[in-house]
Chain A
């Protein structure tokens, strides 16, 4: 490809898409390369989705700085992206006097109006299901939750609306100088750009090494989760944090924007970027959740999953220009609070590039994204109207989450659209309900194939070899010898 870009962003996670979205406010030719088949396929698809408030920022770190820088963006993001950040507030719970000190630190750091340290009784007035063994709780009204997929997608869709190109299935293997441009090599092709931003999550240290940096490889630290049925949505109203032990925020119990309850994550080492869940890990998550909510209804688990944290040795963000390629910016070690800090990271990235010479001239015609209607959230009047316009709004394909064929088709045909079942799942919530695809699994592969003009056997779950269907019956020779 001899097309030249101003900026290529490597990585379609929430950070990559946030950077692409931010830069799309300016007059630039931008390309986003993603190694998997969809945005939000790596670290971004498996985290708690919490927008941590100022109370939880880590001083004297880059990540803390970018966390703070990101928070003022929330309102603007809500408008431009048409996305919901649910302000649930949070309770950080102490079980002893020594843990109380941490709560005081949070209050001091946050300086948030309305934030209080509560007695156990006061805490349980806010959250009746809380353990009665708590010593105190810090109440923070500013904490929000977002759907990690919806945020990532909204950023991607907005970026696309404003001219960013997306190419999937592009795993970057190397970089070469071409004058003051950089040629990027992937397994599928080559791309040329003046500036390159690598926000490749788990692959970010690898890419930095490929560009000549002598930095240690990231360690993937895994966290497992339990997802509880939407029936449990009234179990907790606030995000519940324990007092952290060690380097993580601990095992949380959190509401989500869709009504499920999320429990997790724990912390364990993952070999080979392995995202499997384990018996011990899930048990640890269950126990962590029960410490906060003793009557945690684990029998209402509908799914489990795990996410990987790309961690640098000092657990901080490392954002730096390559020593060999002056216009290649690396973002390494973006773990928690990566989602929260995504806007701040994007702005910081823009500043760094600008300092080095990237011209940022603001577009006048930046388009705000409108989210597609969600049938489940509509009133009966709105539903009636939509069905009159398009009969596909009356056909429910996912019973558990009340998703219509109209929404599925849109998710397939939008930009960037879903090309995998998991991509559909993240856009419209099919297969995410309590039956986990038992009902909609009968329809979706066929609807996908028909809408996208694919063979039914080509439909994949997520990776390019994750075929959903086997061979057609009658294609395989039957010949099982009988007893």
Chain B
């Protein structure tokens, strides 16, 4: 199918991050699906994901009370839908947890119903 014949053309340049080469991929929307050019098979899969369901691991901090530090770093257990990250941040920023907390513990399950948990990444002791 020639690209020139498309009526609705959404042409996007993506940089592939699967391997260190960092190829430039061009993606065109073809009705309901995407045509990817400029990369390898892994790159094409990456581009498809980026266009249909882009996800990112989110790492941030939470407020923590009575700990030796005032912030505790956390991460999502797996990549989270990219476009819902602002909403996720607003939710996480509204939380305040209590010390002590242990690395690896699950702080929140099923964030925003997306099936991704929030994991503690630093052990914070209780302040004396």
Q: Residues on A close to B: CB < 8 A? A: 473-474, 477-482
A404 to chain B, nearest CB (A): 22
| Contact of B4 with A by CB under 8 A | no
Segment of B20-28, B35-43, B82-90 engaged in the interface with chain A: B82-90
Chain B, 50-86, contact with A by CB distance < 8 Å: what is the 0/1 string? 0000000000010100000001000000000011011
Q: Known contacts A482-B82, A482-B83; decide if A473 and B89 are in contact (CB<8 Å).
A: no
Whether B90 lies near A482 (C-beta < 8 A) is no
CB interface residues, B 80-128, toward A, < 8 Å: 82-83, 85-86, 89-90, 93
Q: Known contacts A473-B61, A473-B71, A474-B63; decide if A482 and B93 are in contact (CB<8 Å).
A: no
Instruction: List residues of chain A with CB within 8 A of the CB of B89.
Output: 478-479
Q: How far is the CA of A481 from the CA of B82 in the complex (A)?
A: 10
Whether A481 lies near B86 (C-beta < 8 A) is yes
Whether B93 lies near A474 (C-beta < 8 A) is yes
Q: Name the one of B63, B71, B85 contacting A482, with C-beta atoms under 8 angstroms.
A: B85
Q: How far is the CA of A479 from the CA of B61 in the complex (A)?
A: 16
A-B CB contact pairs (8 Å), 20 listed: A473-B61, A473-B71, A473-B93, A474-B63, A474-B93, A477-B90, A477-B93, A478-B86, A478-B89, A478-B90, A478-B93, A479-B86, A479-B89, A479-B90, A480-B86, A481-B86, A482-B82, A482-B83, A482-B85, A482-B86
Instruction: List residues of chain A with CB within 8 A of the CB of B63.
Output: 474
Q: Which residue of chain B has its CB nearest to the CB of A479? A: B86
Q: How far is the CA of A482 from the CA of B63 in the complex (A)?
A: 24
B: interface residue count bin: 10 to 19
B64 to chain A, nearest CB (A): 11
Q: How far is the CA of A473 from the CA of B62 in the complex (A)?
A: 9
Q: How far is the CA of A481 from the CA of B93 in the complex (A)?
A: 17
Instruction: List residues of chain A with CB within 8 A of the CB of B85.
Output: 482
Q: Which residue of chain A has its CB nearest to the CB of B83? A: A482
Instruction: List residues of chain B with CB within 8 A of the CB of A474.
Output: 63, 93
Instruction: List residues of chain A with CB within 8 A of the CB of B82.
Output: 482
Q: Which residue of chain A has its CB nearest to the CB of B82? A: A482
Q: Which residue of chain A has its CB nearest to the CB of B61? A: A473
Q: Which 3 A-B pairs have the closest CB atoms?
A: A478-B89, A474-B93, A479-B86
Instruction: List residues of chain A with CB within 8 A of the CB of B83.
Output: 482
Q: How far is the CA of A479 from the CA of B83 in the complex (A)?
A: 11
Q: How far is the CA of A100 from the CA of B82 in the complex (A)?
A: 74
Question: Other CB < 8 Å A-B pairs besides A473-B61, A474-B93, A482-B85, 17 of them?
Answer: A473-B71, A473-B93, A474-B63, A477-B90, A477-B93, A478-B86, A478-B89, A478-B90, A478-B93, A479-B86, A479-B89, A479-B90, A480-B86, A481-B86, A482-B82, A482-B83, A482-B86
Q: How far is the CA of A289 from the CA of B71 in the complex (A)?
A: 48
Q: How far is the CA of A479 from the CA of B86 in the complex (A)?
A: 5
Instruction: List residues of chain B with CB within 8 A of the CB of A479.
Output: 86, 89-90
Instruction: List residues of chain A with CB within 8 A of the CB of B86.
Output: 478-482
Q: How far is the CA of A481 from the CA of B86 in the complex (A)?
A: 7
Q: Which residue of chain A has its CB nearest to the CB of B95? A: A474
Instruction: List residues of chain B with CB within 8 A of the CB of A482.
Output: 82-83, 85-86
Instruction: List residues of chain B with CB within 8 A of the CB of A473.
Output: 61, 71, 93
Q: Which residue of chain A has its CB nearest to the CB of B85? A: A482
Q: How far is the CA of A480 from the CA of B88 in the complex (A)?
A: 12
B123 to chain A, nearest CB (A): 20
Q: How far is the CA of A284 from the CA of B61 in the complex (A)?
A: 47
Q: How far is the CA of A477 from the CA of B91 in the complex (A)?
A: 10
B72 to chain A, nearest CB (A): 12
Q: How far is the CA of A30 from the CA of B89 in the complex (A)?
A: 57
A6 to chain B, nearest CB (A): 50
B107 to chain A, nearest CB (A): 15
Q: How far is the CA of A474 from the CA of B61 in the complex (A)?
A: 9
A464 to chain B, nearest CB (A): 26
